[in-house]
Amino acid sequence: MFIPKYTITNKILKDIGIVEAAREVIMNAPLIPAWEAKFRKEAIERTVHHGTHLEGNPLSEEEVRDVLDGQEVIARDRDVWEIINYRNVLKFIDAVQAQIGTSGAYNFTLETILEIHKLTTDKILPPESCGKFRLRQVVIRNTKTGQVSYTPPPAVEVPYQIEDVVNWINSDEGKSTHPVIKAGIIHYEIARIHPFVDGNGRVARAVATLVMFLDNYDIRKFFSFEEYFDENPMDYYLTLQAVSNQLVLDTHERDLTPWLEYFTQGVAIELNRVKEKVQRISTDARIKDKLGEQVALNERQMMIMEYIHRHKGMSNKDFRKIFPDHSDDTVLRELKFLRQKGLVKKSGGTKKAIYVLK
């Protein structure tokens, strides 16, 4: 029976604390519907882009958005299908979550993992390999040196080891484990077992995400921990391999602590980013209450409102602090809009003007 071995270190506790605090802010923020939709769309785009870029997909963020919007992009068919497929995986995750609901009572199945792989590799692998465990030995090589960096378990052991992971997810211990730690364990185990000939990383991250969602930890679907992994992919792969290459007699004796420290830190960083954006957007929600109507502010306008709210005012000399890459004329245009909406008022002459909340 699979029983993960790890220690809850002070670092993990600290990052879980950051996650919980950020989650509280995000879940209770009075976001207007237009921003909720925008945040979810951006999270999907980031997840798809970084989740595939991490595996070598060369499409830019803009090209990924174009593909998701159904526009033509000049690229290899495989690269385009990787984007479409991963979006379909996210749709599948949403469907599974909706089917189970928010009761917290679910029975995770091996078939779910196979379906995620089938969607991930559609039109990329031969049909007989999609949603099927590998039947041969594979190795992980250093792309620069060609040296073998990790050898996964033999193909004959794959079904049994994956079944062990599924049983643990459904066990009392698995269900009582904190969702972020559980997601990290599942991600590691699927990556370690490497059950498929291709698409293992994407499947590992998708299954980890799904299990968090099933534990009512979807956090409004605003987050994407793939972006954290993709910012420094070498750290991601080396941390996975360092744990997998521990010299132990039994695979269950591997200490997952270093990987879980890395994983929980990533979730904490991502949710903190989202929290900060949500707090800025919440200014927009307060505006709605004040004016009795929805006023959609752009990024610059929100930054101005946030700055004035925090500092009780803004002068012309503050322009450079907030917008080092924008001209004064651009900032003045944004302030004009805010003044016209009755959100900001100006006192003093042009050069010595002070802008405050109205």
Interval 231-257 mean pLDDT: 90
33 pLDDT tier (thresholds 50, 70, 90): confident
Interval 18-33 mean pLDDT: 88
The CA distance from 280 to 289, in Å, is: 15
Q: Reply yes or no on whether the pLDDT at 32 is more than 90.
A: no
Would you list the domain boundaries of the chain? 10-278, 297-357
| Superfamily of domain covering 10-278 | Fido-like domain (1.10.3290.10)
The CA distance from 119 to 206, in Å, is: 11
104 pLDDT tier (thresholds 50, 70, 90): low
Give ∠ CA 260-168-141 in degrees, rounded to 5.
Answer: 50
> pTM higher than 0.85, yes or no?
no
103 pLDDT tier (thresholds 50, 70, 90): low
Q: How many CA atoms lie within 13 A of 107 on its CB side?
A: 0
pLDDT of residue 287: 72
Note the pLDDT tens digit of each residue in 258-301: 999 999 999 999 999 999 888 877 777 777 777 777 677 888 88
Structure token pair of residue 91: 């749709």
Note the pLDDT tens digit of each residue in 292-309: 776 778 888 888 887 887
Burial of 149-169, coded b for 16+ CB within 10 Å and e otherwise, reads ebebeebeebeebbebbbebb
Q: Reply yes or no on whether the pLDDT at 4 is more than 90.
A: yes
184 pLDDT tier (thresholds 50, 70, 90): very high
pLDDT of residue 102: 63
pLDDT of residue 307: 85
CATH number of 297-357: 1.10.10.10
Task: Choose from 83-97, 143-157, 332-346 the range with maximum mean pLDDT.
Answer: 83-97
The average confidence (pLDDT) of the chain is 91
